[in-house]
Amino acid sequence: MSQFKYLINRWSRSDRQRSVNRDLQHTQKTKAALSNQLDNNLQLLQKVYADCSDIIFHNFWIGDQIQAVLIYIDGLTNTEEVDQHVLAPLQKDFPHEYNLETIRKKIAVSYIKQVETIDDIIAEISVGNAFLLVDQENQGLSIGVSQWKTRSIEEPSAESVLRGPREGFIESLRVNTALLRRKVRNSNLKIRTMSIGTYTTTPIGIAYIEGIAEPDLIQEMMSRLERIEIDGILDSMYIEEMIEDNPYSPFPQVLSTERPDIAGAYLLEGHIVVLVDGSPSVLIAPTTMFALLQSPEDYYERYVGSTAIRWLRYLFFIISLLGPSIYIAVITYHQEMIPTKLLLTMAKSREQIPFPALVEALLMEIMFEALREAGARLPKQIGSAVSIVGALVIGQAAISAGIVSSPMVMVVAITGVASFMVPRFVVGIAVRVLRFPLMFLAGFLGLLGLLLGVIVILNHLLALRSFGVPYLTPLAPVQSSDHKDVLLRAPHWRMNTRPHLTGMQNLYRQSSNQRGINHQRMTMDDEEGGFYEL
């Protein structure tokens, strides 16, 4: 597809630099193979794990005749399984004729892998597996007895809903992939894995539905991930910033969520989901501006109410961006736009204020942002109380002291409430950042400056791409068949096609008649108490 050929990875390094880095990493890795002398292998591994107090080297004899060492990480390995299913069977009577295959049959663990290089041994031990070294053998056995401490599955606090699933992703990659499998129970759901990070070697999962996701999109995602060269990945945000089309844009080009139902819904639309081990937030690409303004509850309530709330959300999104700027422009340069009675009231409230409207707005906006951040950083028990009480006290004190006017406090408060209606926190941050330059433009140039700022933002949004998909799709460019889930939330039985985002071949998601009745009008027979056909 042409839109994927258009993509340019501005963040990628030159091929020559990448080749040099790969050579350096290659030389740093230990590609040495195991020898058949246990003491030599043990000395090499003890040198690798020098000054590591949590690495356990357990020496023992297999059947009182074969010397062996079991290596594992204390805290990542299930020691009870090691005792019951590894050490206990091997320390019993053992045949005189032995090899790795006979030892393997004695171990009652499902995952056992033969490993012969130091690099592979380190990789297996790092994920919590126990590694068995046996004398006179140039290979070892990696035994799957890892035990990870994870938190329970619970509803994400930032994406809670009144009606819908109450489960969310956690920090375990395998638990998260299982949650996805639970939503999409089909063999066409493919999950590729890779590791990123020189030191962390963080496992990454790339999920998509074969036959729905565009192959060019899958290839582009894999290409961007393979180009990442970094020392460590600790959260999905590391990946997000490195695969975006425009990393300097304040608007996110990848959707982030902690809800498996949202990830499953986007998989069914042909998107790709990226899961990062250690992070409860998964990444969904490509995305659009309107997808970032949608809430999961839009699809769990009646479509009439969901449409009305969606329009209200769009309105307050505009208010959160332009509210203070419009007030500053009108009160400073365009007083003729205000009704006379209202103008007299506002003039009276501003009579004793020593600052212009721009300075007023900046003082209140900065204070409001500080209170919001303080409330988010404080403990939950007192955070909300401090932010609410602080806003009330400081606002009233500022009015009483004659520093700001009452209308300005109202405008800032309404803008703050409007910003909380944006369902995605990252979009709210972008709005909060852009609000200040718009306020300066309105303060110096009035509505003309505000209009100029809006044009610049719209021009940026029109030029923005998410994996080649225009950011304002389906309004720009216009795709009328996709309007059923943008300005409106059409009933589920009317959403017959998937969005035209990635040019997928499997466009139809259901038949054209999904009303749940037998296509016949039915009515109630009052006398017989049953139904009959008209």
In the chain, how many domains are there? Answer: 4
Residue 297 lies in a domain: no
Range with the lowest mean pLDDT among 95-104, 361-370, 411-420?
A: 95-104
Residue 9 lies in a domain: no
Residues 276 and 197 in one domain: yes
Instruction: Say which amino acid occupies 252.
Output: P
Range with the lowest mean pLDDT among 225-229, 285-289, 373-377, 414-418?
A: 373-377
Residues 241 and 374 in one domain: no
The pLDDT value recorded for residue 531 is 40
Q: Is the pLDDT of residue 20 over 50?
A: no
* Contact by Cβ (8 Å): 69, 143: no
The pLDDT value recorded for residue 524 is 46
The pLDDT value recorded for residue 26 is 43
The pLDDT value recorded for residue 157 is 80
Pairwise CA distance, residues 303 & 298, whole Å: 7
Residue 64 lies in a domain: yes
- Indicate the residue among 143, 176, 202 that finishes a domain: 143
The pLDDT value recorded for residue 7 is 46
Q: Is the pLDDT of residue 4 over 50?
A: no
Longest dimension (CA), the chain: 105
Sign of CA dihedral 367, 372, 376, 380: positive
Residues 313 and 454 in one domain: yes
- Indicate the residue among 287, 318, 343 that finishes a domain: 287
User: For residues 372 and 87, which has the higher predicted lDDT (pLDDT)?
Assistant: 87
pLDDT tens per residue across span 431-476: 999 999 999 999 999 999 999 999 999 999 999 999 989 999 888 8
Residues 163 and 282 in one domain: yes
Residues 128 and 203 in one domain: no
Residues 249 and 344 in one domain: no
pLDDT tens per residue across span 164-219: 888 999 999 989 999 999 999 988 999 999 999 989 889 999 999 998 888 999 99
Domain that holds residue 412: 303-470
Residues 218 and 277 in one domain: yes
Range with the lowest mean pLDDT among 120-124, 176-180, 514-518?
A: 514-518
Residue 298 lies in a domain: no
Q: How far is CA 9 from CA 5, 14, 333, in A?
A: 11, 11, 45
Residues 349 and 398 in one domain: yes
Residue 500 lies in a domain: yes
Residue 244 lies in a domain: yes
The pLDDT value recorded for residue 137 is 85
Residues 453 and 486 in one domain: no
Residues 319 and 441 in one domain: yes
* Contact by Cβ (8 Å): 196, 202: yes
Q: What is the mean pLDDT of the chain?
A: 83
Q: Compute the average pLDDT of residues 67-82.
A: 90
Residues 499 and 457 in one domain: no
* Contact by Cβ (8 Å): 399, 405: yes
Residues 351 and 261 in one domain: no
